[in-house]
Structure 1
Amino acid sequence: MADATWSAFQGTLTSMTARDWIVALISAWLAFKVLQALYNVSPLHPLSKIPGPKLAAATYLPEFYYDVILVGRYTHAIKQMHEKYGPIVRINPNELHCADMSFSDEIYAVGGRKRDKPFHQVNGSAAGTGNAFGTPDHDLHRARRAPVAKFFSRAMIARLEQEVHDLAQTLCNKLLAENKDAKERKPFEIAHAYSCFTSDAISSYCFGEAFGLLSRNQWQPNYREATLAVLKPVFFFRFFPILVSSVKLGKYLVDYLPADTALLIRTLQIDIPSRVQKTKNDLDSGIVYDRPTIFADLLQSELDDSEKKQDRLVEEAVTIVNAGTETTSWALAVITYFLLSQPEILAKLQDELNQVVDDPCHLPSWTTLEHLPYLGAVINEGLRLSYGVSSRTARVPTTEDLVYRGEFNKKPMSLVLPRGYAIGMSAAIAHHDESVFPDSYAFVPERWIDEDNKIRKDLERSMIAFSKGSRGCLGKNLALCELYLSLAALVLRVMPYMRLYETTERDIRYDHDMFIPMTESGINHTLMGLRHTQPLLQQLQHKLSLWIANLVFYLSQHLNNLHFIHQRSPSPSQQQAPSSALPSYEPSHLSSKTNTIFLRFLDGLNRAAVASPPVQILGMIVGNSVNAAATLSTYAISKSRSELCISTANKELFMPRGLKAEFVKLDAVARYAKIPILDGNGKIEKNSMVLGPCEDVSAQSSLTVQQRRLQALEPWIAPLELTPLPELHVPDNFVSKMHASTSERQRKKEEKKMTKDRAKAHEDWTEDSRKARKDYEKEMRKIEEEFAKIQRKHADEPRKLEKELKKLDKEREKCQKEYEKEMRKVDKDRRKDDKEEEGVMSLWNNKHGTPWCKGH
């Protein structure tokens, strides 16, 4: 019987065709996968008690669908799993995910607690397993990392810090020189510029010689877009790792690839191997470098000879260069966007930096800049919203089970996480934990500063932009050094001239990941433009038609004759100065002999000018400049407040002494002082030779626009030499003195109350405006999410898709109208609470004989 059965089986095998064999093998494979899926969800599997969707526990298909088909969107699905199942979820048959930052020190352990890296994750990095980053085994990773790690220590970074400083200054110089000709000025991708900077920094650090991307005439070609192109198949590699080797074919195709991609492939597969080989040849020839480099030290280390083979060292170099380029440059781009879109944060950061920076072309040390709390807060917030690596970073505890204790839905929970299975976290999820980072999608540097004006350590422990533990980011110190030095230089030298160009928060907000964060368009898009560097006084006068463009104070004795101080000789490089010169009232020139009444007037005018905030002042009166407001009405209100202040001063101080204080326009000053900036019609000439240095950024890149403006007008500005004002002749009887004293006390009392009322009103306006904006952004996010869902759901149904999108457009329009309504209400409350507005209106009507309106 048995022989007959065996004979029949053999006959069947010999009669099977190739097609039969293929069908049989596929059937066997499918049967195996079904049985494997059943085992994965059965109580026999070690992860069976971990909550999560059953399909994800049974098979990798959900991950494949979201990451390969929908391109890098499994992180969004994981976030939804946490909302449904709790802080620990099972996301595939052999991997867990954690959303509780308090458990991160267990996942990313240090010391003798071993943590391997799962092969499933290593395959997705496309970095291979020959480098420290892609090494799965804990002990081998530790051996490979040790000789490289010392080059990224704080001590070594401090030794080579000057190179980073020089590259940061080169970046600023190139940005300032970008499109110097106003006719050719055009927007550009700022992330490309930052990519050139970080590429040169990391290559200089690795090989002792930079790639030289900053020395090119343009920002392209660079590694950025090519890196993004190379990263597109990373999730495909995760499921089909055999295809990783296809990347090595790139060097044979460089002549047929786009310029950016060809540059990257040539650098990674041709230039870097040749640099590694050159280092080896130099060492063999006895050549000693004047500074240490990573790969010279690796070749001389105690690693096994197998670890010093060129292929492995090249793989190490490629990984370090890629890791040190994209993440840091994107963090800089995100920070730049938020600083330019929120000028109040930029102004606050500039104020802090100005306290320690005398010359932005020669910055203090990294250590000094690290002690600036607001700068550190801005950088931390930028790292939080740029994520570093957005893909999940898992670890495999090999020698211990992990025990998680927490709560979900206000109920305690406890789970044992068995050894040998991966568990990880995602920065794109952890950095938006609302219990740790309230209003987590907003850029709020203040959240990082405690009541002692120091960086909050508890929040730093809740951020994983550099990962954590024994496998944390190797180049963290170098990245921070680059961020501190470059951002300080950019804020003081370049950002005053930069503006966003057709760029919104959607262009920098995380949408999906390809190992690094990607935006909705698939290309991290941050277009910037260099603001026209014509002096602000001319911008206001010509573009906004405001005759308050420049404030110059002068005294006119008896309301008729102009009395300036004295003549000043011009510098040899300037044209001949006029016979009279304008007075410059700068606080540094005032002496104790100056009349205290006049000083009090200047102080009052300064406070009036700074109140709301006003126009930018040339520095003639207050000695400093204040950021210009964005709307026409704010300028007019500021001017009228200043007029109110001067009107009061004339009435109480100057007119009784036969004097008068007034404002004049710059063109009136130019006509009187014969400053050669007027055209034939008596108007300020835009291309004036005198004001040319204000636009010549490259020649005076270390000076602020205010400094350049004053320098250009310097020959026509005299130093302050005030003679004491005539004393006021007042009766010296007791009743008059008592009346004067009572009036002064009442005035001070009313001024104090007005200041308090205005401060409270301003706080209320700000809070209402912030709340309206927050609610608006929240609703718009919901609409955008719904938009994405509708697109995916009805992609094959055009008519239904169009119908649903029309409904969504109506919701978006309704949301916009509600927001505008709230902002009008806030504006109405602001005008209602303004205690000074009645006086301002009265002054305007009395002086001009026309009602106050927004157009003024």
Structure 2
Amino acid sequence: MSQANLILGSALAALLYFACLAIYRLYFSPVAHIPGPILAKITFWYEFYYDVVLTGQYTFKIRQLHDQYGPIIRINPEEVHVADPDFYDIVFTGASQKRDKWAWFCDQFGIPDSAFATVKHDVHRMRRAALNPFFSKAKVRSLQPLIQQVAQQLLSRFEEFKHDAEHMTLSLAYAALTNDVAEMYALGRNDNRIEAKDFDPSFHDASVAGSTMGHLTKQMPWILHLMQVLPDSVAVMMDPNMASYVKLQRDIKAQIQVIQSNRNSDMYKAAAHQTIFHEILNSNLPDSEKSPSRLWQDGQVTVIAGTLTTASALSYATYSLLTQPQTLKHLRDELRDAIPNVDRLPPLASLEQLPYLRSCIKESLRLSNGVSSRLQRIDPDKPIYFTDQTKHNGKTYILPPGTPISLTGMLIHTDPNYFQEPFAFRPERWLENPGLEKYLVPFGRGSRQCIGMELAYAELYITLALVFRCYGSADVQMDGDRGLLELYDTQFERDIEIVGDGITPLNRKESKGLRVRVKDV
């Protein structure tokens, strides 16, 4: 056979293969009956175009597709997306119902041994059980002194900027705060970024870069595997933003090795309360679950997820309060009554009972959307039934076992059928209608709900309470204020608005972050 014939034969074979694959996906797939665009049914490249070429736009395209096709659509060859908030608890259910994650989604992170990216329900349940005690509400409440100490460091930095008359990038300061808390909790040490002159944005930038890379590595996971085996120096040269990310991985691995080597020493016994890993190493988990490789992956998730999502909510809340004087006044009046002495912050349990503070936090979580991407769950054993309750057709769809079914928190949080004026920051909505709580899902729900939820809430309550008890604005002042916060060259459309999905929300490329000036009263 000539070379030309060989090439032609190979091309025809490839063409035949892809034609057969397209026919199968269109007409014989287990989800062939689900409506959606033909290209999305045939190929993952449809999603690739919107998320990789157009940078994180598929979430917004999915909203448009629901407007066109109805509340249930097929968004790629295997996955079904649902836009019915009342269906959320059926998909994201408790531990009594098996729910696997989708390997195609999890592979993008390169941390297959972490509890977060564990695919199988039973394996996740085992791993999660070892972590749950360290993220419980009671455990997190015991961390109030740690969180409060870092928040007080932030207030001290406010005073520095007040005297220097410079603006500060508060979004980076919040990321430094949440990162310092997460590192101390997970590793027993931190990089003290809150004290860095510019709040050390390298980790924040690297985390965002790593997050946005997920759309590419989801489609081509071999790229991430290649990066992980390259020498650190080469990885850093390829992308300078990866420098602090690589350092974080090294630090976590080194810390785990220290803990393992000293687990029976006096030092271990004295420090056992400092990290989540000490007790895991002494747990009943199999030895394979205590390997440094697995533990550093859980450490990475704790630190990165614990940095970006909470910092985003703090930034959104601060911007909204500084641009809405009546909202800020309502909050400050409540904080003044609850905290007569700013040097003695009430217990976290008391802060959690402040209705307007609680409503501001809920509203900031709703609009900041710590995770902007859709999340999938799979029932490996039983079909799941969805009935279209809208005006489209009232039809019941059967989703076979093994079908990845997804919903998107960001689309639920801005659904005008549940949230009037969905993009308005209006804390009163939570006081007027407590039933809205059902549709607030920034941490997911069910057996795989974000394990760091209580820690995030604690940081939000303590930080916002301290900042706005001590600092007002030009329009909202009270006796005893330490200073005023004033927005500096911060525009909602450029710096705050969510315009893309990079797993975590994306602002515009030209965004300068939330910036403020700190002024004397």
TM-score, length-scaled by structure 2: 0.93
Q: Residue 531 of structure 1: CA displacement?
A: 3.9
Deviation at 1:217, TM superposition (A): 3.3
* Amino acid of the structure 2 residue aligned with 1:296: H
1:515 aligned residue: 503
The match for 1:107 among 83, 91, 105 is 91
Deviation at 1:449, TM superposition (A): 0.4
Q: 2:210 aligns with which of 222, 230, 233?
A: 230
SS in 2 for 1:421: coil
Shift of residue 24, structure 1, vs aligned partner: 4.3
Who is 1:41 aligned against? 26
Counterpart residue type for residue 251 of structure 2: D
Amino acid at match of 2:460: L
Cα displacement string for residues 277-302 of structure 1 (whole angstroms, at most 9, x for unaligned residues): 11111214453134522111111111
Matched, 1:273 2:253: yes
Q: Are the counterparts in 2 of residues 113 and 399 from structure 1 also a CA contact under 8 Å?
A: no
CA distance in 1, matches of 2:113, 2:9: 38
User: 1:117, 1:368 → 2: CA distance?
Assistant: 37
Q: Which position in structure 2 is the counterpart of 1:152?
A: 135
1:87 aligns with 2:71: yes
Whether the 8 Å CA contact 2:106–2:119 is kept in 1: the answer is: yes
Deviation per CA, 1:434-460: give whole Å up to 9, x if none: 01001101111111103xxxxx44211
Equivalent positions of 1:311-390 (< 5 A) are 311-390=293-372
- Which residue of structure 2 lines up, in the alignment, with residue 486 of structure 1? 463
1:121 is aligned to 105
Letter in 2 for 1:281: S
Partners of 1:176 and 1:494 within 8 A in 2: no
Is 1:141 the counterpart of 2:124? The answer is yes
Alignment of 1:124-203 (within 5 A): 124=108, 126-178=109-161, 180-181=163-164, 185-203=165-183
3-state SS of the aligned residue for 1:403? strand
CA distance in structure 2 between the aligned counterparts of 1:100 and 1:266, rounded to whole angstroms: 42
Q: Write the deviation string for residues 659-704 of structure 1: whole angstroms up to 9, x where unpaired.
A: xxxxxxxxxxxxxxxxxxxxxxxxxxxxxxxxxxxxxxxxxxxxxx
- Provide the rounded CA distance (Å) in 2 between the counterparts of 1:441 and 1:179: 32
- Alignment map for 1:219-298 (pairs within 5 Å): 219-248=199-228, 249=230, 251-253=232-234, 256=237, 261-268=242-249, 270-287=250-267, 288-292=269-273, 293-298=275-280
1:7-41 deviation digits (Å, cap 9, x = unpaired):
xxxxx3xxx54x76566445433322221111111
Q: Which amino acid aligns with 1:230?
A: G
Q: CA deviation at 1:356?
A: 0.8
Change (3 A) 1:175 1:127: farther
Partner Cα separation in structure 1 for residue 259 and residue 182 of structure 2: 16
Q: Residue type of the partner of 1:143?
A: M
**Is this contact kept in 2: 1:152–1:475, CA < 8 A?**
yes
Task: Tell me the SS of whatever aligns to 1:394.
Answer: strand
Q: Structure 1 CA distance, aligned partners of 2:80 and 2:434?
A: 27
The offset of 1:220, in angstroms, is 2.3
CA contact (8 A) 1:50 1:90 kept: yes
Name the counterpart of 2:480: none
- Report the secondary structure of 1:62's partner residue: helix
- For each residue in 1:66-101, what CA deviation from the matched residue of structure 2 results, as whole angstroms up to 9, or x when unmatched? 011111111111001111111111111110111111
**SS of corresponding position for 2:416:** coil
Q: CA–CA distance in 2 between the matches of 1:214 and 1:387?
A: 24
Whole-angstrom distance in 2 between the partners of 1:64 and 1:257:
23
CA contact (8 A) 1:384 1:463 kept: yes
Q: Would you say 1:67 and 2:51 are equivalent positions?
A: yes
Counterpart mapping for 1:524-535 below 5 A: 525-533=512-520
- Select the structure of larger CA radius of gyration: 1
3-state DSSP class of the match of 1:209? coil
Which residue does the alignment assign to 2:450?
473
CA contact (8 A) 1:340 1:500 kept: yes
Three-state SS of the structure 2 residue aligned to 1:41 is: helix
Deviation digits for residues 196-248 of structure 1 (CA, Å, limit 9, x no counterpart): 10011111111222221123333124411121222232111111111111332
Deviation, structure 1 residue 163: 0.8
1:438-477 equivalence runs, <5 A: 438-450=420-432, 456-477=433-454
Shift in Å, 1:522: 6.5
Residues 253 and 187 of structure 1: CA distance in aligned 2, closer, same or farther (over 3 Å): farther
Does structure 2 conserve the Cα–Cα contact (< 8 Å) formed by 1:498 and 1:528?
no
AA in 2 matched with 1:231: S
* TM-aligned CA distance change 1:21 to 1:150, over 3 Å: farther
Name 1:208's counterpart in structure 2: 188
* 1:502 aligned partner: 489
Deviation for aligned residue 1:250:
6.1
- Contact conserved, 1:200 with 1:212, CA < 8 A, in 2? yes
Q: CA contact under 8 A between 1:396 and 1:422: conserved in structure 2?
A: yes
- Between 240-249 and 459-468, the greater mean CA deviation after superposition: 240-249
Residue matched to 1:786: none
> In 2, Cα distance between the equivalents of 1:485 and 1:159?
13
Structure 2 counterpart SS, 1:116: coil
- Counterpart mapping for 1:514-663 below 5 A: 514-521=502-509, 523=511, 525-533=512-520
Give the C-alpha shift of residue 56 in structure 1: 1.1
Structure 1 position 146, deviation (Å): 1.1
In 1, the alpha carbon distance for the partners of 2:486 and 2:379 equals 48
Q: How does 1:5-24 map to 2 (within 5 A)?
A: 12=1, 16-17=2-3, 24=9
Q: Distance in 1 between matches of 2:8 and 2:214?
A: 31
Distance 1:23 1:164, change over 3 A: farther
Q: Aligned pair 1:217/2:205, yes or no? A: no
Q: Assess if the C-alpha contact under 8 Å between 1:202 and 1:321 holds in 2.
A: yes
Distance 1:36 1:230, change over 3 A: same
The one-character-per-residue Cα deviations of 1:736-783 (angstroms, maximum 9, x if unpaired) are xxxxxxxxxxxxxxxxxxxxxxxxxxxxxxxxxxxxxxxxxxxxxxxx
Alpha-carbon distance between aligned partners in 1 of 2:223 and 2:240, rounded to the nearest angstrom? 24
- Mark the CA change 1:27 to 1:514 in structure 2 (over 3 Å): closer, same or farther: farther
Q: Structure 1 residues 54, 255: closer, same or farther in 2, change over 3 A?
A: closer
Whether contact under 8 Å (1:151, 1:157) holds in the other structure is yes
Take 1:253 and 1:175, find their aligned partners in 2: how far apart are those partners? 38
Structure 1 segments unaligned to the other structure (5+ residues): 1-11, 451-455, 534-704, 706-856
Identity %: 33
Alpha-carbon distance in structure 2 between the residues aligned to 1:417 and 1:457: 32
The residue that corresponds to 1:423 in the other structure is: 405
Distance in 2, matches of 1:113 and 1:148, equals 20
CA contact (8 A) 1:41 1:58 kept: yes
Query: Equivalents in 2 of 1:30, 1:175: separation in Å?
Result: 63
Q: Kindly provide the amino acid, as one letter, of the partner of residue 504 in structure 1.
A: Q
Distance 1:22 1:263 in 2: 47
Say which structure, 1 or 2, has more relative contact order (CA 8 Å, 6+ apart): 2
Please report how far the alpha carbon of residue 261 of structure 1 lies from its aligned counterpart in structure 2 after TM superposition. 3.8
Equivalent residue letter for 1:151: F
Q: What do residues 410-464 of structure 1 show as CA deviations (whole Å, max 9, x unaligned)?
A: 65332222111101111221111101001101111111103xxxxx442111021
Q: Secondary structure at the match of 1:226?
A: helix
Distance 1:97 1:257 in 2: 36
User: CA 1:421–1:258 in 2, change beyond 3 Å: closer, same or farther?
Assistant: closer
SS in 2 for 1:407: coil
SS at match of 1:115: coil
- Name the CA distance, whole Å, in 1 between partners of 2:155 and 2:452: 23
Deviations 1:392-418, CA, capped at 9 Å, x for gaps: 101111121111123222653322221
Match of 2:13 in 1: 28
Q: SS in structure 2 opposite 1:51?
A: coil
